[in-house]
Amino acid sequence: MHVFYAPDIAVNPELPEEEAGHCLRVLRLTVGDEIMLTDGKGCFYRAAISAATGKRCQVKVNEVIPQEPFWKGHLHLAMAPTKNMDRIEWFVEKATEIGFDELSFLNCRFSERKVIKTERIEKIVVSAIKQSLKARKPVVNEMVDFGRFMQREFAGQKFIAHWYEGEKPLLKDVLQPGEDAVVLIGPEGDFSREEVEKAEAMGFRSISLGKSRLRTETAALVAVHTMNLFNS
């Protein structure tokens, strides 16, 4: 059964314009056809198309199906985006399929990319939750300077991955299952020493993701997978 994203379906029984276009013009579904909707807030909706006119697609909801969370805690990944957007888009798709709750983009001292269009990222996230049959959509935040991000308050565990010398246990060895967690991943040139020191002063624990030197998007995916695996 085809899955569509309708964040306001609980109060408005109509598909968003883009989803309606895909439903009617691409898939050529019509009145009476059954579809599945997700609101991205924790529920699926079994529905049938009740009216299809032009760019509008109205539905009749037949059943609301709450989905239990697939993992415990709030899993937050904050990363410096790569210069090549294709690599970020690849990461976003795969991380969403695996499962996490929040994505932030950091503008760091050695960042290769200072601007990112979150509209495109949102579309990839929506596509991935539909493909992976998830009823919860990760929050995508606008890019923020590293210093401002450090001013936020975070509940639970806080980690920063980097390549500087010092005690850095593996994330899998210090992650406490069931608790909220946020992991910071730096740019290809790594965080600056000052950024690492600032994070540590704010309660972030330095960690390693393994012996291999990973690209930014690979490190971010390893972090998401580790958080998800230990909280599933």
Segment 79-106, tens digit of pLDDT: 999 999 999 999 999 999 999 999 999 9
Residues 147-159: tens digit of each pLDDT: 999 999 998 999 9
Q: What is the mean pLDDT of the chain?
A: 95
- Cα distance between residue 2 and residue 130, in whole Å: 9
Average pLDDT for 60-81: 96
123-136: per-residue pLDDT in tens?
999 999 999 999 99
Domain locations in the chain as residue ranges: 3-66, 75-231
Q: What is the mean pLDDT of residues 194-201?
A: 97
Name 79's bridge partners: 105, 185
List of residues 6+ apart from 33 with CB closer than 8 A: 48, 49
Q: What architecture is the 3-66 domain classified under in CATH? A: Beta Barrel (2.40)
Q: Say if residue 53's pLDDT is above 90.
A: no
pTM higher than 0.85, yes or no? Answer: yes
Which tokens in the block code for residue 224?
A: 């998401």
CATH number for the segment(s) 75-231: 3.40.1280.10
Is 178:202 a contact under the CB 8 Å cutoff?
no
Q: What are the CA-CA distances from residue 144 to residues 33, 106, 126, 147 (Å)?
A: 44, 5, 22, 8
